[in-house]
Structure 1
Amino acid sequence: MSDPVTRPLGAQISHMLRARGVDVIFGIPGVHNQEMYRGIEEAGITHVLARHEQGAGFMADGYARASGKPGVAYVITGPGLCNVMTPMGQAYSDSVPVLVISSCLDETAARRGQLHQMKDQEIAAGTVCDWSCTAQTAQSAYGLVDRAMQEFATARPRSKHVQVPIAQLQALAPPAAAPVVPAQQAQHLKADLSSVVDQIKAAQKPLFIFGGGAARASDAARAVVAALGAASFVTYAGRGVMAPDDPLFFGAALARPDSAGIVAQADLVIAVGTELAEVDIWRDHLGHRAPMIRVDIDAEVLSDPQQAEYPVLMDAGIFLNALADDVTGAQGSSRWDAREVAKARASWRAEVDAERPGIVPICDALRSALPDGTMIYSDMTQFAYVAKEVWDMENPAHWHHPYGFGTLGYATPAAIGGAIARQGKPTLAIIGDYGFHYTMQELGVAVELGLSLPIILWDNGKLGEIEDSMVRAQIAPNAVIAQNPDFCKLAEAFGARAAAPETITAFQQAIKDAFAADGPTLIYVTPALTS
């Protein structure tokens, strides 16, 4: 390569990504995508070697949620792409900006039996992400990457997949053009929304519901609610948008069946940045009888079965900041009763404790032991299900969970990605015994990087939630118990620290010790934990 600017396309893609602000890539090299690795170090990008492509995808997801920047993963043709499809589906479901770049075979129609061959790799990936496209030229590859970056910045952020034929990755190519100027979204409410604002200001009993889309506008959301004297709920993904001590805050209790009765009391419902999906409310209809104003960046959400009378296609943060300016100084005369709010919250907390006994006190103990600003990644486990309902977050976007797609094995690798993005800031993982099996090998990455990462492993010795569901359905529990290893010895075999506290006090101390350690600590906890 006599021309220092001309490089194989695989290398140019890394340089292009670095020019667009990407400084970490998660992945695994193989003979099909090795050209993508030619330029990583030269471009100044840190590569994190996952132990499985699923782990790489979850790390990219966790990194994106923590940093607000796109998470990028490099994977090989065929099985590598298949392995990362679960994280792609999770990122799509939870609106996380993840870009997966893979190699692909040059030709598949007339040849069979090639290494890593799939019938249609592009279409397969497209079933779990926003879009999946093949770049047949260097300019096509550059254009697709820029398209992904623009959409991450201006539309609902969802996973994307770009694949490049092996021969193209190897071929010399000119560098990508300079980064394009990111598109700007309108920063003010349009005049035709004045009637919506007037309705909000005139409501006597307004109820706001904030989802994850409002997470980056919590200050404005709190200001709006305070000025109007409004009550509020948050979805699980919206926890932290509202201040826990707000006397008219109902918490993340929309999944409680009788929350529908609370919603029915409102004379105006304003849902901001939320799908109001099954995993948010666990019923077909929210329960409102009053008109609904629906604010979302995704037009599909605005046409869902909730049938909002006033759909507003707008970024939640832009809407809330503009609304906050408009209602500043308003003297909201709320008809909501703070005593009734407190009563409802206490009742719901008691219900959660009765449904899954013993977990609420452990959640309380964990919360009191955590440093300020801790970011938490949880898995599909009963510990997390309880915490999502009773644990009010001080800060938004600080508890991440595989909400929609609902995959097991998310928490450990996602927390690793989050810890990489948050160097020097506390990050924590919560995972169940069964989910830990899915991605336990990524513990080696945390050891390799020396991440001070506490991993709480909740072991109830079974698929507890599934067993409970079978019992409710009058099915004799079947296939819900698996032989577990000695998790502490397993962690130590990876080079991690391990602790198995038997009391609440010892549990809290183990958490503090783990944050001070120079590597990850697996903290093994069972329902037998006592005070």
Structure 2
Amino acid sequence: MPVVSHAKPKSGADQLADALGELGVEVAFGLPGVHNLPIWEALASTGVRLLGVRHEQTAGYAADGYARATGKLGVAIVTTGPGAANTLAAVGEAQASGSPVLVIATDIPSTLRRPGVVRGVLHESSDQAALFAPLTKRQFTVAAPEEIAGTTLEAARLAQQAQSGPVYLGIPTDFLTATTKRAPDPVHHTPVSEPLDLGRARELFERAERPLIWAGGGALRAGAGAVIGELAEKLAAPVLTTFGARGLLPPEHPCLAPNSVHSPEVGALWDEADLVLGIGTDFDGLMTQNWLMPPPPTLITVNVDAEDAAKNYQPELSLIGDAREVVTALLGELPQKDGQERLTARLRRISAAIRRRIREDEPQAADFLGTLEEVLPEDTILIADMCVAGYWIGGFHRIPGPRKLAYPMGWGTLGFAFPASLGSAAAGTGRAVCITGDGGFLYGVGDLATAAQENLPVTVVVVEDGGYGMLRFDQEQAGLPARGVDLDGPDFVALGKSFGLRSERVQGFGRAFRRKLGAFIQSDEANLLVVEAAMRPPLNTSPRWYRKERG
């Protein structure tokens, strides 16, 4: 990045606006406060759309939803103290899911801070940046007004650099109105790739008779789907995708195993494999049923972080680098294997068996998934919450392509879906369809005002089962009475209408749901569909993990 020098001084807020423009930021999400108002003023004259929300947590989730839908930087702009702290749940989810999110928060005026003393300045905390330390890649606090632009660029680059994740940027509020020349930007260092041991990889693959590819969110974020698909066909290897990698391969790909690995038929593919190639994954507890899946006889990992790749299963070989680049290199080294037709036939049988089980186990879920597959256009972005309907989507809905599902199974934050869907809707990449429960929806229900005011293309589907249905199931399984899970709620249809949204109610996931959902997603406006239904949770929820039951 060349050194930038302004002919005349600018305010700190203008420098921030300039930096966001240089980064190509088109949309940011924020809530105004007395300390950050200069940012709103500075951005008003730029091409950056600052979309106002009703809660800072929504700003964080919306920035995450935008990042997941686009692969670009998500930006949340909040105010000092409680405003910054309100983003923490969203920041934790962004970290666990590898979302490149930049949280820009003001801090108390530098002139009023006294080191080591909390004086009682409005919104003061002893160390605001420290609140974000466990949940971000790094925390920046601007040291002088002239450093605002350069520090913003550095923080944004770090957020987007693999492994991507959230970064905190704090700016003392008095710096925003200070007039100064911009300091030279910091030098940006590109990480150096390590040499790949492709010869050793070839040896291991040549010995393998039943290879398997396990692809995680890092593979999707690297845009490695096409080359992974080629590699799978070359190896005649099934591809298992994690929650974060759903949509990596098209549903019709001949090597794509049906989700989810929590189904015994899919889990058997792992058990039988004599070599697993783990790409962009850390083999987390949710996907491995808390590591009850046995370690593979041979494991090769592809990851930008060797420690992350080896923290749960020990690899025999680690290939460190960008997933797309490393897999491309492997393609040129590995021999063609036979067995593609047999593999595809087996995967089709597995898929049919899973669909039969869903129909027998929970007919409403079969209707629900069938309607989504039939009605949703391919450019729809589906955002699911941690509710029973969301678990069915995360585990078993056929995702048509990359970045068409946002699911909070990184940190597992209830209340994610609706605010994240606002960010996805603002991305302009397709209509957002939010699937949430009546419990989680109430976390951020006030931002129905944002959906209406900003005329966002989002359909909110609230599955109403009278409370926290997943937790109710947990208590039932344990033989316990329902405590704290049965909730009185509002009339969601009347509530939606009070915000000016078209809102309707249906019973169950039958024909009326299919007809209404089809009509709602054709709209150009935000709308709300309430479905009265209670479903049994699927196999990918921890109370129903089959390996735990067998153990």
Match of 2:130 in 1: 123
Q: SS in structure 2 opposite 1:438?
A: coil
Counterpart AA for 1:372: E
Counterparts of 1:202 and 1:103, CA distance in 2:
57
Q: Are 1:432 and 2:437 matched, yes or no?
A: yes
Would you say the 8 A contact 1:12–1:176 is kept in 2?
no
**Offset at residue 434 of structure 1 (A):** 0.5
Match of 1:490 in 2: 495
Residue 508 to residue 357, structure 1, CA distance change in 2 (3 Å)? closer
Matching of residues 467-482 of structure 1 within 5 Å: 467-482=472-487
Query: 1:249 aligned to 256, 262, 277, which one?
Result: 256
**Offset at residue 480 of structure 1 (A):** 0.3
Q: Are 1:231 and 2:238 matched, yes or no?
A: yes
Match of 1:279 in 2: 286
Would you say the 8 A contact 2:26–2:48 is kept in 1?
yes
Match of 1:217 in 2: 224
Match of 1:97 in 2: 100
Q: SS in structure 2 opposite 1:501?
A: strand
Match of 2:544 in 1: none
**Offset at residue 83 of structure 1 (A):** 0.6
Match of 1:517 in 2: 523
Match of 1:462 in 2: 467
**Offset at residue 452 of structure 1 (A):** 2.6
Match of 2:317 in 1: 310
Q: SS in structure 2 opposite 1:43?
A: coil
Query: 2:326 aligned to 304, 312, 319, which one?
Result: 319
Matching of residues 21-420 of structure 1 within 5 Å: 21-105=24-108, 106=110, 107=113, 109-175=116-182, 177=184, 183=190, 190=195, 192-215=197-220, 216-256=223-263, 259-327=266-334, 330-333=336-339, 337-351=343-357, 358-420=364-426
Q: SS in structure 1 opposite 2:443?
A: helix
Would you say the 8 A contact 2:150–2:185 is kept in 1?
no
Deviates more, 1:350-359 or 1:196-205: 350-359
Counterparts of 1:245 and 1:104, CA distance in 2:
51
Deviates more, 1:344-353 or 1:413-422: 344-353
Counterparts of 2:186 and 2:72, CA distance in 1:
15
Counterparts of 1:308 and 1:6, CA distance in 2:
54
Residue 324 to residue 407, structure 1, CA distance change in 2 (3 Å)? same
Counterparts of 1:139 and 1:201, CA distance in 2:
58
RMSD (Å) for aligned C-alpha atoms: 2.5
**Offset at residue 150 of structure 1 (A):** 2.5
Counterparts of 1:520 and 1:114, CA distance in 2:
40
Number of residue equivalences: 523
Residue 357 to residue 278, structure 1, CA distance change in 2 (3 Å)? farther
Counterparts of 2:534 and 2:487, CA distance in 1:
19
**Percent identity of paired positions between Structure 1 and Structure 2:** 28
- Any idea what the Cα deviations from partners look like across 1:342-369, whole Å, max 9, x if unmatched? 4444444455556655222211112201
**Offset at residue 177 of structure 1 (A):** 4.8
Q: SS in structure 1 opposite 2:442?
A: helix
- Any idea what the Cα deviations from partners look like across 1:435-494, whole Å, max 9, x if unmatched? 110011111111112223111111111211101112223332201011111101101111
Counterpart AA for 2:63: A
Would you say the 8 A contact 2:259–2:266 is kept in 1?
no
Q: SS in structure 1 opposite 2:153?
A: helix
- Any idea what the Cα deviations from partners look like across 1:230-250, whole Å, max 9, x if unmatched? 122111111122332345432
Structure 2 residue runs without a partner (length 5+): 1-5, 536-551
Counterparts of 2:270 and 2:360, CA distance in 1:
24
Would you say the 8 A contact 1:212–1:235 is kept in 2?
yes
Match of 1:506 in 2: 512
Residue 350 to residue 298, structure 1, CA distance change in 2 (3 Å)? farther
Counterparts of 1:303 and 1:472, CA distance in 2:
34
Counterpart AA for 2:449: G
Counterpart AA for 2:142: A
Counterpart AA for 2:386: M
Counterparts of 2:75 and 2:8, CA distance in 1:
24
Deviates more, 1:58-67 or 1:499-508: 499-508
Query: 1:450 aligned to 455, 461, 474, which one?
Result: 455
Counterpart AA for 2:13: G
Deviates more, 1:18-27 or 1:468-477: 468-477
Q: Are 1:527 and 2:533 matched, yes or no?
A: yes
Q: Are 1:19 and 2:26 matched, yes or no?
A: no
Counterparts of 1:302 and 1:274, CA distance in 2:
7
Counterparts of 1:131 and 1:182, CA distance in 2:
16
Counterparts of 2:187 and 2:460, CA distance in 1:
40
**Offset at residue 133 of structure 1 (A):** 2.5
Would you say the 8 A contact 1:214–1:273 is kept in 2?
yes
Residue 519 to residue 243, structure 1, CA distance change in 2 (3 Å)? closer
Q: SS in structure 2 opposite 1:39?
A: helix
Would you say the 8 A contact 2:137–2:159 is kept in 1?
no
Residue 311 to residue 184, structure 1, CA distance change in 2 (3 Å)? closer
**Offset at residue 37 of structure 1 (A):** 2.3
**Offset at residue 228 of structure 1 (A):** 1.5
Counterparts of 1:121 and 1:181, CA distance in 2:
26
**Offset at residue 112 of structure 1 (A):** 2.5
Counterpart AA for 1:168: F
**Offset at residue 378 of structure 1 (A):** 1.0
Would you say the 8 A contact 2:142–2:169 is kept in 1?
yes
Counterparts of 2:297 and 2:200, CA distance in 1:
16
Counterparts of 2:24 and 2:163, CA distance in 1:
19
Residue 294 to residue 473, structure 1, CA distance change in 2 (3 Å)? same
Would you say the 8 A contact 1:237–1:397 is kept in 2?
no
So what's the TM-score if we normalise by structure 2? 0.88
Counterpart AA for 1:490: L
**Offset at residue 118 of structure 1 (A):** 1.8
Counterparts of 2:41 and 2:186, CA distance in 1:
21
**Offset at residue 294 of structure 1 (A):** 0.9
Residue 150 to residue 197, structure 1, CA distance change in 2 (3 Å)? farther
So what's the TM-score if we normalise by structure 1? 0.91
Counterparts of 1:369 and 1:179, CA distance in 2:
49
**Offset at residue 295 of structure 1 (A):** 0.9
- Any idea what the Cα deviations from partners look like across 1:397-418, whole Å, max 9, x if unmatched? 2101111211122111211111
